[in-house]
A and B are shown apart, each in its own frame.
Chain A
């Protein structure tokens, strides 16, 4: 038996291009900024919960919190 040399694969079909939503990139947001925002969110979350509780007395604070609640 002669040893078989494998064929060299030369794709000429169009399926070497991935589906458009499967071209993957890395999230461009800086890792530190992401942390800062995440921490900011975490800090705010209990506040908001608290503010709901305290709504009758501290009505004025709700507006400020909701403004800060949209950091991005």
Chain B
């Protein structure tokens, strides 16, 4: 329904209903201690902020496990029906030893929050209990001997303190980690452990043993709280039942239902349909069946929702060799591990192709009006027209339509009513029977005039001759009637009468593009009255016009000779054109054609940068087609190639089907094991991955560490090398060495080994092995040698030929001085190291001395998660508080001290934990376009986000920063959260305003604004809306 950007990492999301409200409110707390209460206004479809605030404390140790926020809104008064205005509150556990309370007043308004001291320091879970007269929490905690207990407290709002609660329970399961409060009439709490499940209340205690497992999520099935779904770390789904007689709990029962993705959340919807939210695999919609299937599972997966997270590693490759990158990620965790191939743009899946040079136009025709399929493909050349058709063997072969002129170029063709076909050439319009293929009627151009451009639909023909003559014909059964003629001021460059009204065979409007005055004009039909004239501005003539309608909105598209596209909203009754927008698609003239895919109409813009124009949520979108250059396209829906397109490109005619019309395409290769590192080898056309396979057989759990070789097209596993038990593969690299033409895969392990493999006959062959003193966190190809990061050291290895002809890695030199050198990138002789906790340092390799020395470092204490070199002087880093930053080499510094320091130039809170940066781009880059010059890096994050960081030229940065500032005033943060605060660099040590980074998502949301808001920003900036749209659209083409 709606995708709502929240300026924060969401720590808690709770629905609740304060007294007196008719609908639920949504409580959201962020990891940076902001919270808001949102209300959905169905009338205006807006989210309204009911309350917000800051729940941080100046002093306090954030709770362990990163930052877990426990919150619940106390409902008991509503459930047991006693309206006691004193006992309604929101509770939060944010810092060790403190419990924060936000009370409600009797009108349901929030009051000032206060803290209560909580004696238990190692809290594992806190929940409110149902059915108590006073708000009561139950706390699961661990004592300093690591034993686990639960305890209850009543919250006294008057004294702002805890009072000992009604019961407690000591010495629970050592793995107890989750509390489930049970609603009335049973009340009490379920304590989920690793080996037992316990039901506990003031007057009952029931326990059952379970198979050892870690429960990650639960979902309540019934309102009375007698059944719960539990999801464990292996993705097993179980049903827990509280058996009871009247309102007295008699025992617990548990039953295995089946397998799902490893659940992070479980929401029982209705009718045995459950949503499994997963952060380790795809989320799922499942149905719980009454009867088990053949495998004994009650679970039936109805739908999957793609989740790329956690992205542990990825690589950028050009698998189709089309100059466009695809990202292949190591996604998911444990048994939900997978590889995902993420591709931008729309692919064409070639079915057939034939070499044909010099195509000037293409049209498909049916052999009778009611035939569902196309039979003929008319291909026009400069001095002839050829007709192709499917033969009985489903091959495309040349045929003839006798009534057509085939010795000249065809200007336009179309199916016409009454089983007829229309062909327009420079001298005449021919009407031909599609059954007998014979000429039935012909309209000849007046002598001395030749037809320059023409268009037609099933009942109408519009053409223009030299001298600005516009002629309108109508098609009858065997007759062509000249209905109207108009003399225009200038010559016509393009025209269109695509029917977008109610009648699919007849258009009331004609769009005409003009030479000389560079305008587009709208005429009414049949009388050819000029109703709108729209000057286009500039000197580039319109080359293609198209009337089209998306999602009930009519548009006029007008493509110029320089690769720009203008679009207007078209009022079909008045012919008025409004909301002009201009974008750049490519650099060559564009030809526009409509086509259908899955019964929706889209527009294909053929050019040097072929693009599909479509509409989603009433917004026009542009998606690249993954082809280099297309001169012409026409839909060709034949029986042998249904729903296909005929595409003329680079001396070739191709018939192919088109992908689903959407921007990103994701292919999933489910591995059933956890892929942790990946790299691609062009020469062997393979991927190699380091993965962990978890085995659970008969309660015994073991893991196997594997190096897998996969075919880069089929993703089949073609070879496997087993590492030792507990030998994690930490790094993998495809490289070659000096004085050796072979290409190798190198693998570094946590065990202290570097393994060198060769791919021979599709198999991994171990050719060398080198022991290291520590875990090999990173491997890089470096000056024909191998550079490894081993614990606190950077080590360079030479590839040496031994006397017996075999090869070995031989240590050359190294550099000490890191806590743990985790991430390494190189450029020339420079080495950039991301340290576990000492930020970024820059090393240099000195050839003459055969030594690696430190050149400079960033003295901040950033805990790094990824680094990348953006250019000679600027290095990009990501750290574990979800920030990114850039540092600059200071070669011109006056003193050694200055030169030895990497200056922090950019800082930004991304809100994502980045595991990897890679150079590359998901879009095809045209070297001669503006965006082709902008270098980009791609990142992958734990939450499954793939993002692009583009290095903008200074002028563009300044412009977009101004736009961002204006947008912050117009687009408000949901819940009153501030964009500026959200993007400020923030870690344990400091919070500073973001600098030298811009939020592309915010800037691109300019295109979603309505016209008046765009005008507002245009006024603030002093830049036209058209220019703003164009520059933001350009930005969207970077990804």
Contacts and interface: CB of A to CB of B under 8 A. Distances in A.
A42 to B, nearest CB: 9
Interface string B995-1010: 0000000000100111
Interface residues of B, number: 55
Interface string B963-980: 000000011111110000
A70 B976 CA distance: 39
A6 B1 CA distance: 5
A38 B114 CA distance: 14
B61 interface: no
A25 B3 contact: no
A24 B112 contact: yes
Nearest to A26: B113
A10 B160 CA distance: 39
Interface stretch (B41-49, B119-127, B562-570): B41-49
B450 interface: no
Nearest to A34: B160
Contacts of A26: 54-55, 57, 100, 112-115
A38 B1023 CA distance: 62
Contacts of B57: 26
Nearest to A14: B972
Nearest to B967: A10
A22 B50 contact: yes
A25 B971 contact: no
B115 to A, nearest CB: 5
B5 interface: yes
Given A1-B598, A2-B598, A17-B976, A12 B1013 contact: yes
A34 B98 CA distance: 14
A13 interface: yes
A17 B970 contact: no
A65 B631 CA distance: 97
B55 A9 contact: no
Contacts of B114: 26-27
B112 A27 contact: yes
Contacts of B3: 6-9
Contacts of A9: 2-5, 47, 974
Contact of A2 (B4, B44, B49, B661): B661
A24 B49 CA distance: 12
B848 interface: no
A3 B303 CA distance: 12
B109 interface: yes
B48 A15 contact: yes
A21 interface: yes
Given A2-B660, A7-B617, A38-B159, A15 B112 contact: no
B616 A31 contact: no
A1 B100 CA distance: 48
A16 B974 CA distance: 6
A71 interface: no
Contacts of A14: 972
B396 interface: no
A25 B53 contact: yes
B47 A23 contact: no
Given A24-B112, A25-B112, A26-B113, A11 B51 contact: no
Contact of B616 (A5, A11, A17, A19): A5
Contact of B52 (A11, A23, A35): A23
Nearest first, the 9 closest Cβ-Cβ pairs linking A and B are: A24-B53, A22-B51, A16-B972, A27-B114, A6-B3, A7-B617, A15-B48, A26-B113, A18-B49
Interface of A: 1-19, 21-27, 31, 34-35, 38
9 contacts: A7-B3, A10-B971, A10-B1008, A12-B1009, A15-B41, A16-B49, A16-B974, A22-B52, A34-B160
Given A11-B47, A24-B52, 5 more contacts: A6-B2, A10-B1008, A17-B49, A23-B51, A24-B113
